Amino acid sequence: MPREWNTSFREPWNPVIKKCLDGVDLHTKLYLESQDTFHLNQADLLRLYVSRLKTWIHNTEPEGFHRNENNGSNDTTKSEELLQLPSDQHR
């Protein structure tokens, strides 16, 4: 099954986001080792950048683009089912 979020519109940004999140991980690791707040600040900047980039991608991507590109599938019902707690399924 194709991943809904991985479209030709989003594809060029995936490596950028991955590298930024790798940078967050590295800065966090270095902060834990050194207690140097520089690393916390840089991790926060990278998180903010990724957040803003994802918002921009979401707002810029044509309406319904991910559904159209992925054969018009609508996985809303499946997504809602996945969100049910196990105890909800037995009621």
pLDDT digits (tens, 9 = 90+) for 63-81: 766 656 655 544 443 334 4
CA–CA dist 14, 61 (Å, integer) = 14
Higher pLDDT residue, 2 or 64? Answer: 64
How many domains are contained in the chain?
1
Average pLDDT, stretch 20-45?
Answer: 98
Q: Residue 17 pLDDT > 70, yes or no?
A: yes
pTM of the model: 0.66
User: What integer is the mean pLDDT of 17-38?
Assistant: 98
Is 1 within the bounds of a domain?
A: no
Expressed as residue numbers, the domain containing 60 is: 11-90
- Token digits for 31? 């902060």
Between 40 and 62, whose confidence is greater? Answer: 40
The verdict on residue 5 lying in a domain is no
**Exposure letters 56-88 (e unless 16+ CB within 10 A, then b):** ebeeeeeeeebeebbeeeeeeeeeeeeeeeeee
